[in-house]
């Protein structure tokens, strides 16, 4: 559902009309550190390194199979040579059937008989000698090769270069899946089979995966999700011949989820994570269930923080139009040629909102420059932080599941052009010392998102902990944010109070003010990154600070 400039640039197609806010507000069970589920670079590294693990395991399997073959070859030879002679004077001829039951003689009488038989028979004798001299030696030689150690050595080497994912990562990944489910109102039956809002892939989940997502939801008291995922797991075990888990185990968990759900409905405190009516497993009422939080009420331009911000945010992410047609009819796309710089190469600009302006400018960064930025940024990406409540410390939080790094562009002769270009495009001071921050690069992992927030840094409660240098630069008057990748599904940037959502289109940038002309924060600038449904999302923020703009605050890209 990406918007293509020049065709229907300001039209964001309506995909769905309903949505629910759940996981944005989910009391999380994971604790956040440098987690794989938030990190595109980390996930890609895991995918690469897994090739070494797969190759080592496959070699291990080959080696063990060879060892087993050597052992079996010895036993087969013994059995086929000795057994027939021992069981009958005129015994059955040697068959090609593999030996299934081994006979070992250990009493003196049988041993004497065996020894006499073998030694008097030239062929048996030959084979006896050959087994000692060849088969046994081959087997022993193989035993001296320590395949277990060989595999452990590969893993040791891998561990030296990589911290392996832990349970925390599995839980974070599950939360990503649940966030996607909520934000895009996906149908579990399709989603679990690898279909993402119309985008079909051939890779899905097993019943055991759905079972774990269900159990995690149940532990988090999100009963609606628990029931849906466990039902899906149950269907897979009963109808799809999926044997990754037995259906009885799934059924028991499902019954427990239904029991807890129905008990929660009757509790006095209204739990937002339940359906309105009790779930009766025998009624096959899937699909008709309505959740308590279901809403179609949207209010724009409010300035107080409320649930409506989340409600609008999720609706916008999901492609719902929140503005009436008359509010969007004057929005335009145009070729900007006002400045002489753009005469030969006009800028393609799209106005998403007039006042305050939210503009998207297309083709501002060429692919080769983006590749350079990503190559520079990738090695140092770490889990993104948000301003925390404890002594205003920066903390990793489920509010923002991405990884981040800073790129001082002035140290690179090519990247230096970025602030110059932003200065030219916005008419604001960007290259002067203290006029803007270094470029901040962020990438989003599985279901990666950034809840609605303000980019401004200063507020009265936390002002005391802001450094002198920061105060001297003034707050973040405006944001110029580049999209460094296309995103196949999801990952837009939504402004819940303006009813605006922009499409992540590689090479384009969005621009908006975070402060009003009187210097106060603009409460309408609230915005956030929608969860990534499918694809890799990279953005780069150039935050422009207010004090350098004392005498300039044009918006050169405004066509009026
Ligand atoms: O990823 C996005 O779309 C928004 C990112 C953002 O708002 C931020 O990094 O401050
Ligand atoms: Fe932001």
Angle at 518 between CA 516 and CA 521, to 5 degrees: 45
Where is the domain boundary, 161, 178, 201? Answer: 161
Handedness of CA 157, 162, 163, 164 (dihedral sign): negative
Average pLDDT over residues 38-42: 84
Ligand 2 centroid – CA 528 distance (Å)? 6
Tokens 């006042």 sit on residue: 355
Same domain, 348 and 463: yes
Which one of the ligands is nearest to 505 CA? 1
Cα gap 406→441, rounded to integer Å: 6
With respect to residue 297, please indicate whether it lies within any of the assigned structural domains: no
Nearest CA residue ID for atom 5, ligand 1: 529
> What is the reported pLDDT for 258?
94
Residue 346: CATH number of its domain: 2.60.120.620
With respect to residue 374, please indicate whether it lies within any of the assigned structural domains: yes
Same domain, 65 and 124: yes
Nearest CA residue ID for atom 7, ligand 1: 528
Residue 196: CATH number of its domain: 1.25.40.10
Ligand 2 centroid – CA 284 distance (Å)? 44
Structural domain that includes position 154: 54-87+98-161
With respect to residue 221, please indicate whether it lies within any of the assigned structural domains: yes
Partnered with residue 382 across adjacent β-strands are 404
Residue 148, CA distances (Å) to 53, 64, 185, 242, 422 in order: 14, 10, 47, 31, 57
Nearest CA residue ID for atom 10, ligand 1: 455
Atom of ligand 1 nearest to the CA of 491: 3
Angle between helices 40-87 and 108-120 (to 10 degrees): 90
- pLDDT of 144 over the 80 cut: yes
Pocket test for ligand 1, best of 448, 481, 509, 513 (most atoms within 8 A of CB): 481
132's CB contacts (< 8 A; 6+ apart) are: none
Same domain, 183 and 81: no
Atom of ligand 1 nearest to the CA of 384: 9
With respect to residue 554, please indicate whether it lies within any of the assigned structural domains: no
Of 257, 258, 265, 248, nearest to 280 by C-alpha is 258
What residue spans of 200-274 are helical by DSSP H? 207-219, 223-239, 247-265
Cα gap 35→40, rounded to integer Å: 10
Ligand 2 centroid – CA 520 distance (Å)? 17
Nearest CA residue ID for atom 9, ligand 1: 541
Same domain, 447 and 514: yes
Ligand 1 centroid – CA 164 distance (Å)? 28
Question: Number of structural domains, the chain?
Answer: 3
Same domain, 469 and 490: yes
Residues, CB within 5 angstroms of ligand 2 (ion)? 455
Q: What is the pairing mode between strands 439-444 and 537-545? A: antiparallel
- pLDDT of 31 over the 50 cut: no
- Contact (CB, 8 A) for 447 and 30: no
Same domain, 195 and 148: no
Cα dihedral angle (425, 431, 436, 442), rounded to 10 degrees?
70
- By CB neighbour count within 10 A (0-12 exposed, 13-18 middle, 19+ buried), where does 292 fall? middle
Nearest CA residue ID for atom 2, ligand 1: 529
- pLDDT of 91 over the 50 cut: no
Cis peptide leading into 91, omega within 30 of 0?
no
Residue 171, CA distances (Å) to 168, 404, 529 in order: 5, 21, 21
Where is the domain boundary, 146, 161, 176? Answer: 161
Ligand 1 centroid – CA 512 distance (Å)? 12
DSSP string, 502-533: E---TT-EEEEESB-TTSSB-GGG-EEEPPEE
Cα gap 453→402, rounded to integer Å: 14
With respect to residue 294, please indicate whether it lies within any of the assigned structural domains: no
Where is the domain boundary, 161, 195, 216? Answer: 161
- pLDDT of 16 over the 90 cut: no
- pLDDT of 475 over the 60 cut: yes
> What is the reported pLDDT for 302?
94
> What is the reported pLDDT for 11?
30
How remote is the C-alpha of 142 from its chain's centroid? Answer: 43
Q: Identify the band that residue 428 occupies on the pLDDT scale cut at 50, 70 and 90.
A: very high
Atom of ligand 1 nearest to the CA of 453: 7
Same domain, 359 and 252: no
Strand order in the sheet with 439-444: 333-336, 347-353, 358-362, 509-513, 476-483, 537-545, 439-444, 402-407, 382-383
Same domain, 257 and 396: no
Ligand 1 centroid – CA 495 distance (Å)? 11
Same domain, 203 and 311: no
Partnered with residue 440 across adjacent β-strands are 406, 541
Same domain, 458 and 329: yes
Cα gap 25→310, rounded to integer Å: 9
Q: Identify the band that residue 2 occupies on the pLDDT scale cut at 50, 70 and 90.
A: very low
Ligand 1 centroid – CA 514 distance (Å)? 13
Cα gap 430→417, rounded to integer Å: 11
> What is the reported pLDDT for 510?
98
User: When comparing pLDDT for 511 and 464, which is higher?
Assistant: 511
With respect to residue 480, please indicate whether it lies within any of the assigned structural domains: yes
Same domain, 265 and 360: no
Which one of the ligands is nearest to 403 CA? 1
What residue spans of 334-485 are helical by DSSP H? 367-377, 417-426, 468-473
Q: Which of 281-295, 500-514, 534-548 has the lowest mean pLDDT?
A: 281-295
Of 410, 403, 398, nearest to 374 by C-alpha is 403
> What is the reported pLDDT for 6?
30
Ligand 1 centroid – CA 475 distance (Å)? 17
Atom of ligand 1 nearest to the CA of 402: 1
Percentage of the chain beyond pLDDT 70 is: 84
Entry field: residues in the chain: 560
Cα gap 508→365, rounded to integer Å: 7
Residues having CB closer than 6 A to ligand 1 are 442, 450, 455, 493, 527, 529, 539, 541
Q: Identify the band that residue 550 occupies on the pLDDT scale cut at 50, 70 and 90.
A: confident
Q: Identify the band that residue 54 occupies on the pLDDT scale cut at 50, 70 and 90.
A: very high
Same domain, 175 and 148: no
Average pLDDT over residues 432-457: 93
């Amino acid at each position: 559902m990406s918007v293509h400039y020049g065709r229907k640039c300001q039209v964001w197609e309506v995909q769905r009309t309903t949505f629910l806010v759940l996981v944005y507000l989910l009391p999380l069970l994971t604790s956040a550190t440098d987690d794989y589920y938030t990190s595109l670079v980390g996930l890609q590294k895991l995918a690469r390194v897994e090739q070494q693990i797969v190759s080592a395991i496959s070699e291990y399997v080959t080696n063990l199979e060879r060892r087993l073959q050597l052992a079996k070859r010895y036993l087969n030879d013994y059995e086929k040579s000795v057994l027939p002679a021992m069981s009958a004077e005129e015994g059955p001829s040697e068959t090609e059937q593999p030996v299934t039951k081994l006979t070992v003689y250990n009493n003196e009488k049988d041993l004497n008989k065996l020894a006499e038989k073998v030694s008097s028979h030239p062929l048996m004798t030959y084979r006896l000698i050959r087994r000692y001299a060849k088969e046994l030696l081959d087997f022993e030689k193989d035993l001296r090769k320590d395949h277990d150690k060989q595999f452990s050595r590969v893993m040791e080497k891998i561990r030296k270069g990589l911290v392996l994912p832990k349970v925390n990562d599995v839980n974070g990944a599950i939360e990503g899946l649940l966030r996607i489910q909520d934000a895009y109102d996906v149908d579990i039956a399709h989603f679990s089979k690898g279909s993402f809002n119309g985008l079909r892939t051939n890779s899905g989940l097993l019943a055991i995966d759905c079972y774990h997502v269900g159990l995690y939801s149940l532990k988090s008291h999100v009963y609606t999700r628990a029931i849906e995922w466990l039902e899906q797991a149950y269907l897979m075990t009963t109808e799809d011949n999926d044997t990754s888990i037995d259906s009885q185990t799934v059924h028991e968990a499902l019954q427990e989820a239904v029991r807890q759900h129905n008990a929660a409905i009757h509790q006095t405190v209204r739990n937002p994570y339940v359906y309105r009516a009790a779930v009766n497993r025998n009624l096959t009422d899937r699909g008709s269930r309505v959740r308590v939080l279901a809403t179609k009420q949207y209010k724009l331009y409010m300035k107080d923080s409320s649930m409506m911000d989340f409600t609008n945010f999720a609706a916008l992410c999901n492609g719902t139009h929140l503005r009436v047609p008359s509010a969007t009819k004057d929005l335009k796309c145009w070729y900007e040629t006002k400045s002489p710089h753009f005469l030969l190469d006009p800028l393609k600009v799209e106005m998403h909102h007039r006042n305050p302006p939210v503009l998207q400018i297309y083709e501002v960064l060429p692919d080769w420059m983006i590749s350079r930025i990503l190559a520079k940024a990738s090695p140092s990406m770490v889990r993104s932080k948000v301003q925390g409540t404890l002594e205003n410390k920066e903390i990793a939080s489920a509010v923002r599941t991405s990884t981040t790094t800073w790129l001082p562009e002035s140290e690179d002769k090519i990247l230096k052009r970025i602030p110059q270009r932003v200065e030219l495009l916005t008419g604001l001071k960007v290259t002067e010392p203290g006029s803007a921050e270094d470029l901040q690069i962020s990438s989003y992992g599985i279901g990666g998102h950034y809840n609605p927030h303000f980019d401004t840094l200063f507020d009265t409660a936390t002002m005391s902990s802001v450094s002198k240098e920061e105060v001297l630069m003034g707050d973040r008057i405006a944001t110029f944010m580049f999209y460094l990748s296309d995103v196949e599904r999801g990952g837009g940037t939504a402004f819940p109070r303006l009813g605006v959502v922009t499409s992540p289109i590689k090479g384009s940038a969005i621009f908006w003010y975070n402060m009003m002309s009187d210097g106060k924060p603009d409460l309408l600038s609230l915005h956030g990154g929608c969860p990534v449904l499918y694809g890799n999302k990279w953005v780069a923020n150039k935050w422009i600070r207010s004090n350098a703009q004392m005498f300039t605050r044009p918006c050169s890209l405004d066509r009026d």
